[in-house]
Amino acid sequence: MSMNFLHGADQVPGATFAANWPENWATGWAVTLSATKLELGHLVALTEQLAEIEPALRVVHQRTLVSEADWQHNDTLTQAEQVSQVTAVQWIVVGELNQTESDFAARVKAALTAKAPFHIDVTVMPVATLRRAHKLALFDMDSTLIEQEVIVELAKKAGIGEQVDIITESAMRGEIDFSESFRRRVALLKGLDSAVLDDIIANHITFSPGAKRLISTLKQNGFHVVLVSGGFTYFAQYVQEQLGIDEIYANDLDIIDGKLTGEVTSPIVDGKRKAELLQEIAQRLNIDLSETVAVGDGANDLPMLGLADIGIAYRAKPVVQQQAKYAVNIAGLDGVISVLGLV
């Protein structure tokens, strides 16, 4: 294939892009690529591969979402504020697609990674979805907004880390019911001094790269941001305060005389409840489900990822990657900004 695949592609700034949507784009697709290194030669090879996969497609617009210039102030920022050191490029392509979006994305990724010796994220989204104004975003907490699984940190303090690790990993892979696994793990914490909660916040909780930048960007774009967690309210409140999140829903640890009882005092926020919360909050705010986004990493996030208009798996377990519409693996959490086209 020749470089004619890119012939005539517009390369206008993002602001102009948002204000000018030609009618022939309406049924097109946004193909977004994120990699640790994307140079001109790579892009030529990538466009050729894309043309071979779907010869009927034509690139009508190309824009850079993230470049090295965006990283230049990273050394003065906290990890949560930094821009992920990736290059992200988005193409708008039009023409007939002879396969499903997920199959197309998988084929593009396979073809591109075979030609380029580096890891790459590929998302294929209908332009109609990208163009739609989204207003509500729900996030998982553990291993999504923060890098840790809090219950694992608690287990380490209780000296039962290995036991809880086994149950946690099995639950996140979808091998056992989340609610049952949650009860088992919390029961093992009985007798733990509640002072360890503050110690974990002070010394063991770190935010995912780009988390603060992402939430700030969403808020600037009018999103209502909600944390929905199968973890614990005590830690969710801290995350809410640090990131500026609007609402939180998590599990309340039962504490008597400064000791954990091994129980929770509220209904467990499992996968089903997360999806219910998405529906309830959207209805309360008069937001259509077609205007919602959800981000998570575990099997208990799948119900809300599937229900939201844009469900994004973040550095997720294989079972989640296979079922989610979109995924971010190379970038930090701020890679969600590129998926949503918010530049």
For the annotated catalytic residues, the residue numbers are: 140, 142
Please state whether 195 falls in left (phi above 0), alpha (psi between -120 and 50) or beta: alpha
CB 215 within 8 A of CB 80: no
CB 314 within 8 A of CB 333: yes
Residues 105-111: contacts with CB under 8 Å, at least 24 apart: 107/53, 108/31, 108/49, 108/50, 108/53, 111/49, 111/50, 111/52, 111/53
Residue whose token pair is 């580096």: 118
Written as six digits, the tokens of 304 are 């809300």
Length, in residues, of the chain: 343
Q: CA-CA distance, 223 to 221, in Å (whole number)?
A: 6
Residues 6+ apart with CB under 8 A from 13: 63
CB 92 within 8 A of CB 25: yes
Nearest CA-CA partner of 68 in 35, 117, 20, 23: 35
Q: CA-CA distance, 205 to 192, in Å (whole number)?
A: 18
Q: What radius of gyration, in Å, describes the C-alpha atoms of the chain?
A: 21
Residues 6+ apart with CB under 8 A from 225: 137, 139, 215, 218, 219, 244, 245, 246, 247
Nearest CA-CA partner of 137 in 336, 338, 343: 336
